[in-house]
Amino acid sequence: MLNGHELWYLDTGDGPAVMFIHGLTSTHRNWDHLVEKLRIDHRVLAPDLFGHGASAKSMGDYSLGAHAAILRDLLDQLGIDKVTLVGHSFGGGIAMQFVYLFPERVERLVLVASGGLGRDVSPLLRAATLPGAGWVLPFIASGWVKGRGEAAGRTLARTGWEASPDVTEIWRGFMSLGDADTRRAFLATTRSVIDPGGQTVTAHDRLPRAIELPTLVVWGTRDRMIPAWHATTAHGLIENSKVVLFEGAGHFPHLDKPERFAEVLRDFLEED
């Protein structure tokens, strides 16, 4: 329990603390392969954000600042003073907000296909902010659609087609919206950072002042959710940053190329 609500989190390993922050409609399971590799010599934390996975999906504030404050409270509860933050997509926006609010608590920062670095974002997410989206989503995430989608996937698999991590994760995320509480939390979260024109919350005015720590930016060159050129924007704004582009990877570079991502992350964590 945290602040009166159920917050599920993984806490394993021993050593310098690393916290993984997943994106919209994802869960801590996004980081499973990295947890296993890092727990040997790091204390690894991987929460399900409120509104996601096994954590509470109550009415409330789902803004970046609210999520960042909850993660700070989690660190306080666990007695952890400083942490390396690894944030993917929406989780990257939370990580940057955390640095802005609690800079003394962050050792290093890793942004993976992060939100908050430009207006551009997939029409799929912009559509979730339109009036009436709450009426359409129950159909999109219904058992009827799920059954036909899975049948189509099996048919394609027989032809040799293999779903990419982007397709798999986006499908899994949208299917989670069949639950009414999850759907309500998703709409509240999305509308806190996106409108029909794109992302509404930007780190541009805060990054130069707030981020003075080693930062790694990782992006897939074929990201169709948030364009890869946002990595260049991040590099220009964050003085002590390094950008690594994964050629051919999509919005989930840590799943597209898991071994390479693990190597890049570990090298970054071990830098002086």
The domain limits of the chain are 9-122+199-270, 124-191
Tokens of 29: 């399971």
What is the reported pLDDT for 144? 46
Angle at 38 between CA 116 and CA 115, to 5 degrees: 5
245-256 per-position pLDDT tens digit: 999 999 999 999
Q: b/e for 99-123, b at 16 or more Cβ within 10 A?
A: bbebeebbebbbbbbbbbbbeebbe
Residue type at position 124: L
H helices, E strands: number in the chain: 12, 9
pLDDT above 90 coverage of the chain, percent: 54
30-33 long-range contacts (CB < 8 A, ≥24 apart) are 30/88, 30/169, 30/252, 30/254, 30/255, 31/86, 31/254, 33/258, 33/262
Residue, of 270 and 205, whose pLDDT is higher: 270
39-57 per-position pLDDT tens digit: 999 999 999 999 999 998 9
Contact, 90 vs 191, CB < 8 A? no
Q: Out of 167-171, 212-216, 229-233, 260-264, pick the least confident.
A: 167-171
Q: For strand 83-88 and strand 17-21, is the pairing parallel, antiparallel, or unpaired?
A: parallel
Beta strand segments in 48-183, E: 83-88, 106-112
Q: Fold for domain 9-122+199-270?
A: Rossmann fold (3.40.50)
215-233 per-position pLDDT tens digit: 999 999 999 999 999 998 8
- What does the alpha-carbon distance between residue 242 and residue 231 come to, in Å, rounded to a whole number? 10
Residue numbers annotated as active site: 89, 223, 251
Residue 103 pLDDT exceeds 70: yes
Contact, 43 vs 70, CB < 8 A? no
Tokens of 173: 């995320």
Half-sphere exposure in the Cβ direction for 217 (13 Å, CA): 25
What is the reported pLDDT for 168? 80
